Amino acid sequence: MNTATTTDSAAVQRQDAAWLEAHWMPFTANRQFKRDPRIITGAQGAYFTDSEGRKIFDGLSGLWCTGLGHGRREIA
């Protein structure tokens, strides 16, 4: 996953229902997601980075893909 670059955090945090529905993933706490969405803006190794700059461990990476991590140039 590449790092998204934006200077308009309001655009990243849009709250209209149609936009949020398109980005809902299985196993997401949907009620919380609609109230306070966590938008992923980047990933490196075993971690995501959200729009607030927080690092989040990708505990589901091996469920839909291999558990090799994100951003591995030697593989891609």
Q: Per residue in 58-68, pLDDT tens?
A: 887 666 667 77
Query: What is the spatial distance between Cα 42 and Cα 24, in angstroms, rounded to a whole number?
Result: 17
What is the mean pLDDT of the segment spanning 3-23?
57
Does the model's pTM come out above 0.85? no
Within 10 angstroms of residue 51's Cβ, the number of other Cβ atoms is 16
pLDDT at 7 over 60: no
